[in-house]
Amino acid sequence: MKSITESNLTRRNFVAAGMSSAAALALAACGSNSAAEGGNDAAAGDAGDAGDIKVGLICLHDENSTYDLNFLNAFKEACSSLGIAEENYMIKTNIPEGQECYDAAAELADAGCKVIFADSFGHEDFMIQAAKEFPEVQFCHATGTKAHTENLENYHNAFASIYEGRFLAGVAAGLKLQELKDAGKLKADTPKMGYVGAFTYAEVISGYTSFFLGAKSIVPDVTMDVTFTGSWYDETAEKEGATNLINKGADLISQHADSMGAPTACENAGIPNVSYNGSTVDACPNTFIVSSRINWAPYYEYAITATKDGTAIDADWTGTLATSSVELTEVNENAAAAGTADKIAEVKAQLESGEVHVFDTASFTVDGKALDSYMADVDTDAAYEPDTEAIIDGYFHESEFRSAPYFDLRIDGINLLDEQY
């Protein structure tokens, strides 16, 4: 017994001794690092006035996930346009949705970051935990739902009106279906789409419904099958899901999940695909039509500038077409119907002017009836209690009462193949 305690003790001493030499080494490492990048720093410093603030980003995966890549690119873009030097922005990748996220946030705060971003839905509670502990640091969480009910001055949510982007992508899908119909190339008499979703979560429901309504505005007799994978990133399940939808007679596929599974299945089967998170034209030159995505750079610039100036950041910030937060990639003329780009521009102008609303109650029915009232679950609670009237002035007000989507209606014309997730 005695010998064990002794060996434990010596080990601890060993660790302690290691620490001091470690610190010395680390200092040496940092020194050489900043010296090497000093030149960049000076050059970048002139470009903006936020140069001396330190910022951090926490990502669920790394650049191999289309979802995280979209955040990483936007973060670097925002930092470079604000003149923040490379050693003043820190990125932590592959941070799971657990205590690791709190630890990462706390480490970034220790390192002097004044504003810290996280990119994954499951990071939210751990960001809140960190926000309570570091009141002088701003914590900004993308896609979360709790900022408006937590009432913390330094905790914020952000999202974008991506349903408008999905609607425009749906318009492109509708035009393609119309072209197939005119050429007699539909698999059945009426056009049918397929959609691979991750979870039966409002964010996904809002996404596929706005996509469907966009297509329906061009081809009113369209229907859609939706399948769920139960994961935000599962290449095999997404590929199988898309193949299954194609076998069930889908003329066109879109998806809300983060791997290349569905686009690849479409390219292999020669079925047109409307993508998400960014262009997949390189891998799918014959079937990629267009992709909608959220551009996070405007939000990053807004939040960093506000932190620097000491002004308040909105508890919920919703990017729009007008703030360039919602974007469509270039249309692939190889696969898209003629005139797609022009039509998208036309509808986009109508959305921006308020002439067209995505969730106009005149454009959809639930169980055969048009709606004039719907209580949405805006304040997150374990009982899923509906709390806010969302249909006002003839349309569903998405992303207005909080930034993250809360449209979760099951509308007619969309057939859910499985709902277990």
Binding to another protein (CB under 8 A) within 101-120 occurs at 103, 106-107, 110
Helix (H) or strand (E) holding 389: strand 388-389
Helix (H) or strand (E) holding 309: helix 297-309
For 283, half-sphere exposure in the C-beta direction (CA atoms, 13 angstrom radius) is 15
Residue from 73, 80, 81, 93 touching another protein (CB under 8 A): that is: 93
Residue from 49, 52, 62, 221 touching another protein (CB under 8 A): that is: 62
Strands, DSSP E only, in 245-377? Answer: 252-256, 273-276, 288-294, 316-319, 326-328, 375-376
Q: Does 136 bind another protein (CB under 8 A)?
A: no
Q: Does 129 bind another protein (CB under 8 A)?
A: yes
Residue from 69, 91, 391, 417 touching another protein (CB under 8 A): that is: 91
Residue from 151, 311, 373, 420 touching another protein (CB under 8 A): that is: 420
- Specify the residue, 103 or 179, whose C-beta has the smaller distance to another protein: 103
Write the Ramachandran bin of 185: left for phi over 0, alpha for psi from -120 to 50, otherwise beta: alpha
- Specify the residue, 139 or 302, whose C-beta has the smaller distance to another protein: 139
Q: Cα–Cα distance between 237 and 242 in angstroms, integer?
A: 9
CB of 389 to another protein, least distance (A): 18
Q: Count, in order, helices (H) and strands (E) of the chain.
A: 11, 17
CB of 400 to another protein, least distance (A): 17
- Specify the residue, 212 or 407, whose C-beta has the smaller distance to another protein: 407
Q: Does 137 bind another protein (CB under 8 A)?
A: no
Q: Cα–Cα distance between 113 and 54 in angstroms, integer?
A: 4
- Specify the residue, 80 or 200, whose C-beta has the smaller distance to another protein: 200
- Specify the residue, 238 or 251, whose C-beta has the smaller distance to another protein: 238
Q: Does 41 bind another protein (CB under 8 A)?
A: no
Q: Does 345 bind another protein (CB under 8 A)?
A: no
Q: Does 388 bind another protein (CB under 8 A)?
A: no
CA angle 331/73/271 to nearest 5° reads 30
Q: Is 25 exposed, middle or buried (0-12, 13-18, 19+ CB in 10 A)?
A: exposed
Q: Does 375 bind another protein (CB under 8 A)?
A: no
Residue from 94, 178, 363, 388 touching another protein (CB under 8 A): that is: 94
Quick one: which of 38, 415, 39 has its CA closest to 227? 415
Binding to another protein (CB under 8 A) within 219-258 occurs at 230-231
For 368, half-sphere exposure in the C-beta direction (CA atoms, 13 angstrom radius) is 0
Q: Does 210 bind another protein (CB under 8 A)?
A: no
Strand partners, 157: 141, 316
How many residues of this chain interact with another protein, rule: CB under 8 A?
A: 58
- Strand pairing of 192-197 and 155-160? unpaired
Tokens read off for 135: 């009141």
Please, which residues have CB within 8 angstroms of residue 417's CB and are 6 or more apart in sequence? 225, 226, 227, 244, 245, 248
Binding segment for another protein (CB under 8 A), chosen from 187-195, 288-296, 347-355, 378-386, is 378-386
Residue from 125, 235, 314, 400 touching another protein (CB under 8 A): that is: 125
Q: Does 77 bind another protein (CB under 8 A)?
A: no
Q: Cα–Cα distance between 287 and 138 in angstroms, integer?
A: 43
Binding segment for another protein (CB under 8 A), chosen from 91-99, 172-180, 279-287, 351-359, is 91-99
CB of 44 to another protein, least distance (A): 16
Would you report the helix, strand and coil content of the chain in percent, each value rounded to 5? 40, 15, 40
Binding segment for another protein (CB under 8 A), chosen from 86-94, 247-255, 357-365, 388-396, is 86-94
- H helices within 46-96, ranges in order? 66-81
- Specify the residue, 131 or 351, whose C-beta has the smaller distance to another protein: 131
Residue from 26, 47, 345, 375 touching another protein (CB under 8 A): that is: 26
Q: Does 63 bind another protein (CB under 8 A)?
A: yes
Q: Does 346 bind another protein (CB under 8 A)?
A: no
Distances in Å between the alpha carbon of 145 and those of 154, 197, 401?
A: 15, 20, 10
Q: Does 8 bind another protein (CB under 8 A)?
A: yes
Quick one: which of 263, 187, 177, 179 has its CA closest to 221? 177
Q: Cα–Cα distance between 213 and 83 in angstroms, integer?
A: 41
**Interface contacts to another protein, rule CB under 8 A:** 1, 4-5, 7-8, 11, 15, 18-19, 22-23, 25-26, 28-30, 32-33, 62-63, 90-94, 96-99, 103, 106-107, 110, 121-122, 124-126, 128-129, 145, 198-202, 204-205, 230-231, 377, 380-382, 384, 408, 420-421
